[in-house]
Structure 1
């Protein structure tokens, strides 16, 4: 028998649609029931690819005793954190304040007026290993609601007031100086693992924004840290050596055993990181990793309509990593005895294994000298084993399309076309942008979620910011001014709907949301850049393309707003520090006037894109009406480039060699 989640579009909510728990989706019906019956809310927040969410469902939410207690004493509500990041951020802050840590599944108990009074993450059904059991905890909270309710409500008011106080951002005065970026770099040096790369102990996360900042602003010694980290992530098991793309993080300190879920936002950002490393070093291995990651997006995450799906699960057939790990016998079955033995030696697949049940995660760390495969054979055997692996039961996929994450994918594909020259990446980016415009841009407003021909949920700050920047990257790659004009409209919407004109910065939500305790102003950069980072980065770039002073002022106002916070904890703002670095640089504008289909135009752009030029602006178009192209029309059948640094511009050039000398 199904519950109220059966009508949801969210794959995560649908996973719980047949639980005996009388789940409600977040919305008016559930919140009205809590108020009318004066019951506390049990709020469970997770996402489709979350391994421990699956565990808690099997242990607890499918169990009749748990359902009986939840249904009798609470209004149980399920939320997909990827659909409602505003709720996830707010109540995650509450859980961290209550427990000192956070994670998913998130479990929070609320008063009927939505104030949190108790919370945690995963709970086993019965007490074990020092963790309170979910059933006894539910019974105890239900008892306290009846016998000590005033104490719980006092605690809820105090916690909500403290969360509101912590969320207030007192704006700084001047734009932060370069010393803040230097302080962040110093913290990264201190936390760097010189043996295995990465910043900090296990579990190790990719930290794409750290790598980006180091490549853009760090010394040669700093750059070695970034490259060591990129090499270690690629060589280890976090990278899928057969199918491309990266898992979410490594559970150990040497990047060997991953947590196997694959997220669109990680892979989009990591592809861009490896592209930047390729441009900065010219090393072919970084181009290869970027290419295989982008190919993974196009092959395994692309929706038939053009957008990109959110994630692939860690689990298949009820086991984490089942799809990805091998025994030597399986490799020999797929590749034959001799080739299978060579592959096992090169990729660390042994009889003893390095994972559960004697199976091995595919990796390159333990490849002995002389066991490396020749490039041609390496590519051939990896492809053959990938095809063999595809006969297995694939991990579940969360096939919803999220605006913000697709904005990151737009950027990655557009930059992939620029750096690698593969037209498939430009075509993929254009198809994605067309889908977002068709499905999620409705009557001048952006929606966040699309799935199965339906779209819903008003977009958040991060959606507007990420899509706007993705469109800027697409314009810089393909030269179609329509994408730049749409990005400009998104920038205007950022100012109209999210901007705090008094204090600077941006709220994550529009005003007037009745189901939210208060509006937050997100600044910390985590796995994704914060909404303020995305908005400021997009607006700063748009201000230069469109010569919009209001966009520039809002971007710099965001940096001033978070300036005191960046000075106190620079490593928590690595993405926003990247925006600060761009704002502090003397602008480098490369204006290519000419038709992108012409060989002359493409040759000039190739000269630009083979270089690592942090913060550079590239405008390529035959449209002389664009602000940067006024008065710069190229003669018919040719292309010209003007390079401007600050307020000084070069004479136009039309030869790649002359352009290269200017850029050097």
Structure 2
């Protein structure tokens, strides 16, 4: 990877960008342009095709292609002579990435990053791929040959190039915003999804399918809901087994906390070592819900360790959260995270190292390329028996050993970090922290979520109050996308239900109205990924299927349904329901592509209740009543709390529908309501807990 601070070569146009990924290429000999009109105008003027390269800062093979090809003077000269070259950070411009990834998948039947696409001067794709080595090898064409042949093809067979571009562009348009079949929203869809997930489950190693294996937190959460709804023990067991295997595997950082991107093998041992904010933000609620459902302390521990990592390594001075950490350090993937047996002995001493190594699978020969990825192949109880130790004593000793090794690891050259702040991923982490604060009774998590929300709302909006997508080095840039709005609304809704600060709900309502006005399809067919005022690309997409993150339409449906219930806004509820209805055919036919939509469906099917807590003037503890609810797995609910010493007239507007008339009495109480119809208030925490079933 090129050092962005290397001044031995004249910088290209990327030097004025904020993206760490683009800055990594700022001293390449390639005459890179950022995405924009300037590049396409030059291509049009000089009658050259465009080479579009898309990646992200934590992408291992992106770094490899840079070292091999984009740093190669001869290849760069050929690129500069024959093409106008554009470099895009997929995390800054997911709209561009989505469209051209569809094109590459159409042309090659697969996709990935770095993504390499050749375009006409008006942006239509005619050839594409992913990583190419500089020279042909092992059946792969060399990048030098690819660009030479395509330059010749452009000059000598232009008509064929343009026909191909037209065909691919038409196909991309159909894929970007497909007409989807619809079906009834019933619990049969959830039953079918549960059946398909259980069929796909790996009963030996956990997870779904084979290698490479991704966490799929939304699918785990669907199984937990199905376990509750249908009283299905198998769904609960598979969900918990998956969470156990991931937390025991090498995909989890046993020293620093947090999860790596995915496992390259079926048993979660060898990760791709990059760490993404969104993976950890999505996994935290899955472990919290397993903790609520089972009471098992190991799930709580995983959450606490993961959030400690976020606080220590992924939190900006402004309070928001950074995006990613690289897989590589010192040019080697995973070097920062792996250990030799001798290193561990040198740090811990022979006896402490013997115990640690026995528990974390450390051997002289190693378990990966001669080194050791820490993992837990045996349970604490099994390891304690084999070591002739008490479990409590082994736990304490392992904690001491981990702290010593974490301190030693911190002296290594750390992986690079992409420190831009993205609204959508921050929204996911705000939601995760808010849920953790109330489930684990840890108010510092609520404060961290509040800090992030206040930074985004204060520093990542334009002059008209619309959200901006990315922030780096004091600059907020790019129109926010559908998932930015949807995830932040969801995060604010969760934050309100933890802090009961009305400004969070008020901000969520404002954003929901902007979402409706700027993104909704006028035909009632869900939401577009980009706002109506966005630049025109070759297609305008709708984000409907989950990938590593939940689809924007599914999160929008989830957030609007919850917000509408909290505020008594039937218009927002209806918009959320209509959005979910647009996804009904997808989740019926392909449930594994719609985990987040299935979570929203479970909420719609209910019973979904509103819990309204009212402090007492003299007697009773409203916190005790709340505690009875937040420690239980009751996913289909919204929660409100009456502000103390506030009259009905003084209530903020979003709170009035559910709180008006529920003025404090002598004793703290909770009203259990469904669609506004409430039961008699409950004042006894034990009676309230029994009513939860």
> TM-score w.r.t. structure 2 length?
0.93
Report if aligned partners of 1:466, 1:535 keep a CA contact under 8 Å in 2.
Answer: yes
How far apart in 1 are the matches of 2:404 and 2:660? Answer: 53
Could you say if the C-alpha distance between residues 56 and 171 of structure 1 is closer, same or farther in structure 2, counting changes exceeding 3 Å?
closer
- The reply on whether 1:571 has 2:592 as its aligned counterpart is yes
Asked if structure 2 preserves the Cα contact closer than 8 Å seen for 1:511 and 1:519, the reply is no
Post-superposition CA distance 1:379-406 (Å, at most 9, x none): 2211221111101111000000000000
Matching residue within 316, 324, 335 for 1:303: 316
| Structure 1 pair 173–196 and aligned structure 2 pair: CA distance change class (3 A) | closer
Give the counterpart of 1:516 among 519, 532, 537: 537
Paired residue for 2:682?
Answer: 653
**Following TM superposition, by how much is the alpha carbon of 1:189 offset from its aligned partner in structure 2, in angstroms?**
1.5
Counterpart selection for 1:585 from 600, 606, 611: 606
In the aligned structure 1, how far is the partner of 2:627 from the partner of 2:108?
53
Q: Which runs of 4 or more aligned residues in structure 1 lie more than 3 Å from their structure 2 counterparts after TM superposition?
A: 171-175, 366-369, 512-515, 645-648
1:424 CA drift (Å): 1.3
| Aligned-pair CA distance for 1:594 | 3.1
CA separation in 1, counterparts of 2:642 and 2:540?
Answer: 40
Matched with 1:458 is 479
The CA distance in 1 between the partners of 2:583 and 2:201, in whole Å, is 26
Aligned twin of 2:105: 96
Q: Retained in 2: the 8 A contact 1:202–1:251?
A: yes
Deviation at 1:649, TM superposition (A): 2.1
Q: Displacement, 1:65?
A: 1.4
**Where do residues 206-221 of structure 1 align in structure 2 (5 Å cutoff)?**
206-218=215-227, 219-221=232-234
Q: 1:643 aligns with which of 662, 667, 672?
A: 672
Q: Which whole-Å CA distance do the structure 2 matches of 1:566 and 1:640 have between them?
A: 39
Alignment of 1:441-590 (within 5 A): 441-442=461-462, 443-590=464-611
Following TM superposition, by how much is the alpha carbon of 1:75 offset from its aligned partner in structure 2, in angstroms?
Answer: 0.7
Asked if 1:360 corresponds to 2:380, the answer is no
Task: State the Cα distance separating 1:224 from its structure 2 match.
Answer: 0.7
**8 A contact 1:331–1:385 mirrored in 2:** yes
Mean CA deviation greater in 174-183 or 538-547? 174-183
Aligned residue number for residue 339 of structure 1: 352
Contact 1:43 1:109 in 2 (8 A): yes
Q: Which residue of structure 2 lines up, in the alignment, with residue 429 of structure 1?
A: 449
Residue of structure 1 in register with 2:6 after alignment: none
Distance 1:77 1:555 in 2: 38
Counterpart Cα distance in 1 of 2:184 and 2:109: 32
Secondary structure class of the residue paired with 2:492: helix
Instruction: Give the structure 2 partner of residue 631 of structure 1.
Output: 661
Contact 2:620–2:668, Cα closer than 8 Å, also in 1? no
Q: CA deviation at 1:31?
A: 1.6
Q: Is the contact between residue 479 and residue 534 of structure 2 (CA under 8 Å) also seen in structure 1?
A: no
SS of 2:420's equivalent? Answer: strand
Secondary structure in structure 2 of the residue aligned to 1:643: strand
- Give SS of 2:682's match: coil
- For the residues of structure 2 that align with 1:175 and 1:193, how far apart are their CA atoms? 30
SS in 2 for 1:586: coil
Structure 1's unaligned 5+ residue stretches are none
Cα pair 2:469 2:481 within 8 Å, conserved: yes
The answer as to whether partners of 2:290 and 2:299 remain within 8 angstroms in 1 is yes
2:383 aligned with 1:384: no
Structure 2 residue 192 is the aligned partner of structure 1 residue 183: yes
Tell whether 2:149 aligns with 1:149: no
Cα deviation, residue 564, structure 1: 2.4
Question: Where does residue 321 of structure 1 map in the other structure?
Answer: 334
CA distance in 1, matches of 2:642, 2:151: 65
Q: Deviations over 1:166-223 (max 9, x none)?
A: 3333355554322222222222112111000110010000000100100012321111
- Give secondary structure in 1 for the equivalent of 2:413: coil
> Which residue of 70, 77, 80 corresponds with 1:68?
77
TM-score (norm 1): 0.97
User: Partners in 2 of 1:33 and 1:199 — Cα distance?
Assistant: 47
Q: Is the 8 A contact 2:424 2:484 kept in 1?
A: yes
Question: How far has the Cα of 1:593 moved from its partner?
Answer: 2.1
Q: 1:635 to 1:648 in 2, by over 3 A?
A: closer
Q: How many residues align?
A: 661
Question: Paired residue for 1:263?
Answer: 276
Q: Secondary structure at the match of 2:662?
A: coil
How far off its partner does 1:549 sit?
Answer: 1.5
